[in-house]
Each structure stands twice: as C-alpha cells, then as structure tokens.
Amino acid sequence: MGKVYRLDDMPYTDLVKGAKSRLIAGEKLLVSFIEMEPNMVFPLHRHESEQVMIVVEGSMMQTLGNMTVKVSKGDVLVIESNELHGGQVSEEGCKAIDIFVPPREDYLKLVREKRF
C-alpha cells in the first residue's frame, strides 16, 4: 500500500560534508532530496544503482567518467550503474532530486536509522 510523506517533516541526513538530504525509500527505488552547500565538492564515487538527478535550484560541474558537464536548474542527468561520478558545486549551491533504482543500500541503512 502506498504512503504519503510530508517533505518538511522528514529528517535531514548528512551524506558527505556539505551535503544533506531527506531520503524516502520505496520497495524498488529511493528518492533523495539533496541540498549541497556553495562550493562544496561531492567526491568521486560509484554505486550499483542507476541514478537520475533532477536539478531544481543552483548548479554544479558534474564529472561523469572522463567527461565534465555543467548542470543547472531544469537539467536532468542520467548516471549509469557503476559509472564514476561526482562534482563541484557552484557559488550559489545546488538542490536536486536524485532517484536511485534499485535503492542504494548505504542510503537505505541511513533511512532505517532515521525512521520515526
């Protein structure tokens, strides 16, 4: 059965220094409402999950493998399974919605710890 969440009632989870998120998990996907501080660096990493990033505010330089692209409000970025990626946030910061399929196990653990 489905469930309704009120985003403002969801707790923040620190992901890396300078990035926090509200995480909501379904059975087969996980959604991250991420807020990244100005000029922070999101370290290069990879995960099994495919990822769709929808930039809703601000911008960042995003590295995908050996390519770097600027993503800004309104851009949608698709990251393949196990693709190396990370980024440098702009001076204005960046907010995005990340969708992970299947759910990232490390983030699921964080959701379980924050459950209320």
Tell me whether residue 63 is in a domain: yes
Q: What CA–CA distance (Å, rounded) separates 89 from 95?
A: 10
pLDDT in tens, 16-43: 999 999 999 999 999 999 999 999 999 9
DSSP 8-class letter at 18: T
Whole-model pTM?
0.93
Tell me whether residue 2 is in a domain: no
Q: What CA–CA distance (Å, rounded) separates 95 from 35?
A: 5
Token pair for 112: 């379980």
Tell me whether residue 33 is in a domain: yes
Q: What CA–CA distance (Å, rounded) separates 81 from 100?
A: 10
Name the residue range of residue 110's domain. Answer: 7-114
DSSP 8-class letter at 26: -
Give the pLDDT of residue 107: 93
Q: What CA–CA distance (Å, rounded) separates 76 from 112?
A: 28
Tell me whether residue 1 is in a domain: no
If 0-12 CB within 10 Å is exposed, 13-18 middle and 19+ buried, where does residue 108 land? middle
> CATH number for the domain including 103?
2.60.120.10
Tally the domains of the chain.
1
pLDDT in tens, 49-71: 999 999 999 999 999 999 999 99
